[in-house]
Chains A and B, each alone.
Chain A
Amino acid sequence: MMQRLTGAERQLALIISVLTLLSGLAMAAAGRADPLGIHGWIVVLFAGAVFLLTLGSIYDPEPREDRAVSYYDDPTKVGLILALGWAVVGMGMGVWVAAQLAWPDLRFDAAWSSFGRIRPVHTSGVIFGFGGNALIATSFHVMQRTSRARLAGHVSPWFVLLGFNLFCIIAASGYLMGVTQSKEYAEPEWYADIWLVIVWVVYFVLYIRTLARRNEPHIYVANWYYLAFILVVAVLHIVNNLAVPASLTGAKSYSAFSGVQDAMTQWWYGHNAVAFFLTAGFLGMLYYFLPKRAERPIYSYRLSILSFWGITFFYIWAGSHHLHYTALPQWVQTLGMTFSVMLLVPSWASAGNALMTLNGAWHKVRDDATLRFMMVAAVFYGLSTFEGSFMAVRAVNSLSHYTDWTVGHVHAGAMGWVALISFGSIYAVVPLLWQRETMYSWKLVEWHFWLALSGTVIYVFAMWNSGITQGLMWRTYTESGTLAYSFTDTLVAMHPYYVARAVGGALFLTGAVLALFNVVMTIRHAPEKRPERDYPTSSEATEPAVPAAE
């Protein structure tokens, strides 16, 4: 890993890890027995490990070749493995949380294992740990290939990747200790939030600098999606995490906003985290890896550009649909609802564009589970964006809100769309990066596909049934005008669906474990493949793009 860094870069890495280590020590000294202190020691351990790794190879021979002749893929490789590791952890936590709802004794009476603490470990583990690492890793891959230029830096990609993972570790360990801001998908406290801002700014600068040195005049559409993901998430994160620490020696902080103001800020953030973290970034993945794998250009490139700008301008207004029938002014609710319905247009444009790309390549979808992952992901993207627009309508929301239907909707998106497109992209890119002929076992990919698909379908159907049953029971009145069902009655009605959900999740988790195994075995045992030498003649490839007469 270190042999591709120059001496100066190794020193820079050492300096950064020492600075991080010192801030960890400061946190440990200030926080003492507070969770802040424990987090300080975690930072010290993490930065210390990076420091020792760097120091161990500080005198290794420096790179002699011109580094610009190849892409810099080491951070991508590490990022993909981290993503799969987080997938197993995050989904494992998810199965445990689901099982706790069906069989509450599985909490084993500990404080750290209570539902409220391990649920955010599950959500952050899969969204940020798995999804975030997959996004960072694939964005490094895609921006280099589509720009035909090497990453603009050798230390900063590592800083972004490792810094982000340090954030994830602080987040997850904090939840277990009871540290939380109680904001959905923004639970980590102030010091973790500040750290993430630093990491994210470096990420943005790295992306822009790499694009600036591109050799291809056109910026491929996938880059726009990744860029929107990085930029908008930065703004959202900063605004939603504006908080005043109760003291600088403790983890606790208080939000700058209160009541419905805070709720509005939270869901302005929360829905756009869905939009720009869980949608835009993964659309970037889809628009690069699906055409690559199908070996066909995207069906309509114009439409892909159009849907990008549509998503950019519409999505950001939709957040208030999370607050129907609350103290939020009616017109703000209506605004959110209207934009949510409008969003169906750019969303379906992307889903349709992906499926039309496969027209003429259906035999490949039949034979190749990797491409099938991407195809099914596009289908689930279409389904869950339709469902989302529908659920944002106030009348529908009066039935669906606060029920398991919402949980089912989120998981149709997270499992069916986000996870499947990530797995498809990982299977497509791993043999390329490690220069292997193919994945270690295509049968395992096939198994993973069917496990993931059946797990998702079982999960989503269980939650649809459970949610609608629950919603209808809540609004059933007796003839004398009292509620017909007690809360316990609804719990009894939901129990079989909770069991089914845990089963569906377990199938999905099994698939993720197979993926990690298959990737590790590919790296260790699959036959090597020398890179092909027959690239197009340089005269043709180095010409700037000639505008086509159409």
Chain B
Amino acid sequence: MEILMLLIPLTLAMGCVGLLTFFWTVRSGQYDDPEGDARRILQADDRPLDYRQSERRGERTT
């Protein structure tokens, strides 16, 4: 079963990538506000955020 010499390390490596990503999400504060994260997608507007930032700064009028 030489194929397992390829598939098992490869699968473990993919798991490690997942694990490292998970550590990154923890450290970068991705899980600090699950309540808010779940609710924010429900906001009604359908525009990118840049729009309002630039509007607030008065750079655009439309």
| Residues of chain A having any CB pair with chain B under 8 Å | 65-66, 68-71, 144-146, 148-150, 215-221, 232, 235, 239, 257, 260-262, 264-265, 268, 288, 291-292, 295-298, 301-302, 305, 309, 312-313, 316-317, 328-329, 332, 432, 531-532, 534-536, 538-539, 541-542, 545-548, 550
Inter-chain CA distance A312–B4, complex, in Å, is: 20
| CB interface residues, B 19-62, toward A, < 8 Å | 22, 25, 29-56, 60, 62
Kindly identify which residue among B18, B36, B41 contacts A546, using a CB–CB cutoff of 8 Å: B36
CB-based contact A292/B33 at 8 Å: no
Kindly identify which residue among B18, B31, B36, B52 contacts A542, using a CB–CB cutoff of 8 Å: B52
Write out the residue numbers on chain A whose beta carbons fall within 8 Å of the beta carbon of B32: 545, 547
CB-based contact B3/A297 at 8 Å: no
Kindly identify which residue among A65, A542, A548 contacts B53, using a CB–CB cutoff of 8 Å: A542
CB-based contact A550/B11 at 8 Å: no
CB-based contact B14/A235 at 8 Å: yes
Write out the residue numbers on chain B whose beta carbons fall within 8 Å of the beta carbon of A535: 43-45, 47, 52
A66-B54, A149-B49, A257-B3 given; 10 more Cβ-contact pairs under 8 Å: A70-B48, A149-B48, A261-B2, A312-B15, A312-B18, A316-B15, A328-B1, A535-B44, A541-B45, A542-B49
9 pairs of residues in contact across A and B, judged by CB atoms under 8 Å:
A65-B62, A264-B7, A268-B11, A297-B38, A535-B52, A541-B45, A542-B56, A545-B36, A548-B36
CB distance from A153 to the nearest CB of B (A): 14
CB-based contact A66/B46 at 8 Å: no
Write out the residue numbers on chain B whose beta carbons fall within 8 Å of the beta carbon of A146: 41
CB-based contact B18/A69 at 8 Å: no
Write out the residue numbers on chain B whose beta carbons fall within 8 Å of the beta carbon of A547: 29, 32-33
CB-based contact B1/A541 at 8 Å: no
CB-based contact A541/B52 at 8 Å: yes
> A264 and B1 in contact (CB under 8 A), knowing A71-B47, A215-B49, A219-B30?
yes
| Residues of chain B having any CB pair with chain A under 8 Å | 1-4, 6-7, 10-11, 14-15, 18, 22, 25, 29-56, 60, 62
B interface: dominant SS:
helix
Inter-chain CA distance A38–B40, complex, in Å, is: 50
Write out the residue numbers on chain B whose beta carbons fall within 8 Å of the beta carbon of A316: 11, 14-15
CB-based contact B48/A332 at 8 Å: no
CB distance from A75 to the nearest CB of B (A): 16
User: B40 — nearest CB in chain A belongs to which residue?
Assistant: A216
Write out the residue numbers on chain A whose beta carbons fall within 8 Å of the beta carbon of B60: 66, 69
CB-based contact B53/A538 at 8 Å: yes
CB-based contact B43/A541 at 8 Å: yes
CB-based contact A71/B48 at 8 Å: yes
Write out the residue numbers on chain A whose beta carbons fall within 8 Å of the beta carbon of B55: 538
CB-based contact B1/A260 at 8 Å: yes
Q: What are the 8 closest A-B residue pairs judged by CB atoms, nearest first?
A: A535-B45, A215-B49, A297-B38, A261-B3, A301-B34, A148-B49, A301-B38, A538-B52
